């Protein structure tokens, strides 16, 4: 990673993403800031507690601009895959919810601090790193600066199929945590499905309970 600050005339690209498991539920943000030559200057994932998807998206956008300001950037291009947030920031959609309006106003205030700023809608597959950082932050309940180190707890992954006390969870079976709100759904079918599956254990230590099973 390039350590020096960008020049004042250099345009930085800010990619952001936010997500929530439960909407509202455990939420995380992902931020990637790149120099003009494509070098990543900032890669950040952060767990933000309980929030909705849209609140997480705004928190990610705000964090991205704050980090760009810390780098001394004057010109930025902002890219996110939330059509709602992008169109609200460009004035194409109204911001009706009072909680969202507070975040919108904070984001607009930050945006005005830059000499030049462009806001673009990013296709989801082009926002992959920011998305991964947000998900890792939710998985680990921690701040992430690298997408590689450390195992991801399978109890927080929506694609996990796990052997629980010798038995496989059923395809489509859903569990949630009464303590922290984590939710999972098994995506891999068991070789011998059983309805007597024991609950998963959440990373917070609580036993997760079955929500629904698809027959």
Q: What is the CATH number of the domain that holds 87?
A: 3.30.420.10
- Pick the more confident residue, 28 or 2: 28
Task: Tell me the angle at which helices 53-70 and 98-111 cross, rounded to the nearest 10 degrees.
Answer: 20
Same domain, yes or no: 136 and 176 = no
Same domain, yes or no: 93 and 169 = no
Same domain, yes or no: 107 and 17 = yes
Query: Token pair 């759904």 is at which residue?
Result: 185
Pull the structure tokens for residue 60. 């990610």
Domain stops at, among 140, 165, 198: 140
Same domain, yes or no: 91 and 15 = yes
Q: Are 178 and 149 in contact (CB under 8 A)?
A: no
Same domain, yes or no: 106 and 167 = no
Pull the structure tokens for residue 43. 């890669």
> pTM surpassing 0.85?
no
pLDDT for 9 equals 83
| pLDDT single digits (tens) 175-199 | 666 655 666 665 544 444 444 444 5
Residue 175 lies in a domain: yes
Same domain, yes or no: 101 and 160 = no
Please, what's the largest Cα pairwise distance for the chain? 63
Same domain, yes or no: 63 and 96 = yes
Domain stops at, among 140, 162, 181: 140
Domain stops at, among 75, 106, 140: 140
- pLDDT beyond 80 at 66: yes
What residues make up the domain containing 108?
11-140
Pull the structure tokens for residue 194. 């059983």
Same domain, yes or no: 32 and 123 = yes
Same domain, yes or no: 116 and 21 = yes
- Tell me the mean pLDDT in the region 95-103: 94
Same domain, yes or no: 87 and 189 = no
Same domain, yes or no: 38 and 132 = yes
Residue 67 lies in a domain: yes
Residue 145 lies in a domain: no
Q: Per-residue confidence at 35, pLDDT binned at 50, 70, 90?
A: very high
């Amino acid at each position: 990673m390039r350590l020096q600050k960008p020049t004042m005339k250099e345009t930085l690209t800010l990619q952001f993403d936010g997500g929530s498991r439960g909407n509202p539920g455990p939420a995380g943000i992902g931020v990637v800031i790149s120099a003009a030559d494509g070098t990543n200057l900032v890669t950040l994932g952060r767990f933000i507690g309980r929030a909705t998807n849209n609140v997480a998206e705004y928190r990610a956008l705000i964090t991205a601009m704050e980090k760009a300001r810390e780098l001394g950037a004057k010109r930025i291009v902002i890219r996110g895959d939330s059509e709602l947030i992008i169109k609200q920031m460009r004035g194409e959609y109204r911001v009706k919810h009072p909680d969202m309006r507070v975040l919108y106003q904070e984001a607009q205030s930050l945006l005005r601090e830059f000499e030049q700023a462009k806001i673009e809608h990013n296709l989801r597959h082009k926002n992959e790193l920011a998305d991964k950082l947000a998900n890792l932050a939710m998985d680990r309940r921690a701040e992430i600066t690298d997408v590689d180190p450390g195992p991801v707890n399978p109890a927080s992954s929506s694609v996990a199929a796990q052997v629980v006390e010798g038995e496989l969870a059923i395809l489509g079976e859903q569990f949630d945590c009464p303590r922290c709100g984590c939710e999972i759904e098994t995506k891999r079918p068991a070789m011998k499905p059983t309805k007597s599956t024991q609950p998963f254990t959440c990373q917070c230590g609580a036993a997760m309970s079955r929500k629904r099973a698809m027959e």
